[in-house]
Amino acid sequence: FVSLAVVAGLVVAASAQPNNTSVLLMGALLNQANDGTRQRAIQLAVDDINANETLLGNRTVRLMVEDNTDDPVAGLLAVRRLIAARASIIVGPMSSAMAAEALPLAGFFRIPLVSPSATAPDIFRHESFFGLAASDASQVRAILSLAKRFRWTKLVIIHSDDTYGRGIQNTFVSMREDYDVSTDNFELAVRNPNTAVEILSGLSRNQYDAAVFVMAVSASILHTVLRAGDQIGIFTRGTAWLGTDTMPRIFSEPDFTNITQGFMAVTPSLSSQGGAADSFVPRLNLTRAEEESLSNYVLYSYDAAQLAARALDQALKGFNGTLPEPADNETTSAANVSSASFEVNPLGRLLLDALPDIDFDGVTGRVHLGEDREGEGRYVLMNNQGTDWAEVAKWETDSWRFTNESDLVWP
């Protein structure tokens, strides 16, 4: 909910600052305690954008990073600071829950959020949200295709009670009949993750001995949930255990490799055609520990900033390269937006129109969101084979291609 007092305050704060025609402000919303490598990738993108003479004419981009700490109140305040500073476009947030919190306020002023990793289906319904990764509808489709391949008929969805977890659970419910699969669900509280032991104990019921368990919990509680499951010895139950795209958070941690032996995880991948990941990663100057835990979402973060810059370049052309000064209580025909949103972000409407059509080769491969405002669904199936996680299959053109199915390790 956005009060009129907050909105009015933001408009006044923004209107008091004249447009700077030589510098465009790009915001970034992330959790600085956990997303340092992603922040580094975004800054590297901005440096490359400013060195690219074919983008933005004689303008440069300045990056303003705000820490949302994965807290709803802190996240809303972070968005407010970016709006007051006149950010034209924002890279992030990194999670679906934080995107859901940021969208009402950013959307009011038509400031696009370009997220590398937020994937809940509900947030894609908002015209101001653009996702480099495909929505979880694609991920669920990939998991249900695994169920069909292995003839799994019963899935137990363990999900967090936030936008991310509930989005995945609801998508399973909407799609399950098409794959002849039934589902039960257990919901875990993000704000009280210590109840996981009590809730997961319900999984010890005999009716789940032949079930396949899908763990769709937010990264913020993943460690707690895995420890709880290990404490009650639940990971030896069922036919298989499958994690979603938050699971790479623990790939490089030996303690959790031991806990999750035999697990599988559907995780985002890079394009097998194009992309420049191999040459890009050394530019991040990672420590060995950072390199071992590197997520593909770091590379998506770089491409998200590049996408944002290309949209800025295209939007400026709508004003013939001359960014206008704020208008006084007028609706500007060039942008076709309300006076309030135009005063804060005169490029807003044009950015929303430009982003779906931008098409370029990024470090992750081809970047083109299209009318659905989401990237292509590209996944790999990882399998914990005892000492390490190994890639065992790729999801391409809506089907799984296994390297050697007999190599799979089960719980």
- Burial environment of residue 244 by CB neighbours within 10 A (0 to 12, 13 to 18, 19 or more): buried
Instruction: Give the count of beta carbons closer than 10 Å to the beta carbon of residue 57.
Output: 12
Domain shared by 153 and 27, yes or no: no
Question: Model confidence over 368-388: pLDDT tens digits?
Answer: 999 999 998 889 999 999 888
Residue 16 lies in a domain: no
- Distance CA(366)–CA(368), nearest Å, equals 6
pLDDT bucket at 18, cuts 50 / 70 / 90: very low
> Over the stretch 386-407, which tens digit does the pLDDT of each residue have?
888 999 999 977 899 998 888 8
CA–CA separation, 345 and 309 (whole Å): 15
| Domain presence at residue 263 | yes
CATH of the domain at 47: 3.40.50.2300
324 assigned to some structural domain: yes
The span from the CA of 305 to the CA of 25, in Å, is: 12
Residues 385 and 352 in one domain: no
Mean pLDDT to the nearest integer, 164-192: 93
Count structural domains, the chain.
2
Q: Answer yes or no: do 80 and 211 share one domain.
A: no
Rounded to whole angstroms, the Cα distance separating 214 from 58 reads: 50
Q: List the single range of 159-173, 306-320, 331-345 with lowest mean pLDDT.
A: 331-345
Q: Is 4 part of any domain?
A: no
Are residues 281 and 227 located together in one domain of the fold? no
Q: Are residues 36 and 128 in the same domain?
A: yes
Least confident of 246-260, 337-351, 357-371: 337-351
- pLDDT band (50, 70, 90) for residue 331: very low
Co-location of 312 and 340 in the same domain: yes
Residues 109 and 36 in one domain: yes
pLDDT score at 194: 79
Q: Is 7 part of any domain? A: no
Question: Does residue 340 carry a pLDDT above 80?
Answer: no
Residue 19 confidence (pLDDT) above 90: no
What is the per-residue pLDDT across 236-246, written as a single tens digit (0 to 9) for each? 888 899 999 99
Nearest to 76 by CA among 44, 115, 33, 105: 105
Question: Token pair of 233, please?
Answer: 């010895």
Domain that holds residue 87: 22-135+276-368
Q: Strand 129-131 vs strand 154-160: parallel, antiparallel, or unpaired?
A: unpaired
203 and 187: one domain? yes
Helix (H, G, I), strand (E, B), or coil: what is residue 243?
A: strand
Shared domain check, 163 and 80: no
Does 2 map to a domain?
no
Q: What is the mean pLDDT of the chain?
A: 86
For 42-51, write each residue's pLDDT tens digit: 999 999 999 9
Question: Do 386 and 240 belong to one domain?
Answer: yes
Average pLDDT over residues 330-349: 57
Residue 120 in this model has a pLDDT that exceeds 60: yes
Residue 6 lies in a domain: no
Measure CA 115 to chain center.
5
pLDDT digits (tens, 9 = 90+) for 273-313: 555 778 898 999 988 878 877 888 999 999 999 999 999 99
User: What confidence category does residue 323 fall into, taking pLDDT thresholds of 50, 70 and 90?
Assistant: low
Q: What's the residue count for the chain? A: 411
Judge whether residue 339 has pLDDT over 70. Answer: no
175 compared with 6, residue with greater pLDDT:
175
| The pair of three-digit structure tokens given for residue 95, joined into one six-digit string | 């999670």
Answer yes or no: are the C-beta atoms of 152 and 146 closer than 8 Å: yes
Q: Identify whether residues 157 and 265 lie together within a single domain.
A: yes
Q: Report percent pLDDT > 70 for the chain.
A: 87
Q: List C-alpha distances in Å: 135 to 161, 322, 364.
A: 18, 35, 17
- Which residues does 395 contact at the CB level (< 8 Å), separation at least 6? 142, 145, 266, 269, 377, 378, 379, 380, 381, 401
Is 82 a member of any domain?
yes
Same domain (yes/no): 308, 383:
no
The sign of the dihedral angle between the CA atoms of 149, 151, 154, 156 is: negative
Strand order in the sheet with 129-131: 60-67, 23-30, 89-91, 113-115, 129-131
| Digit-coded pLDDT (tens) for 134-158 | 999 999 999 999 999 999 999 999 9
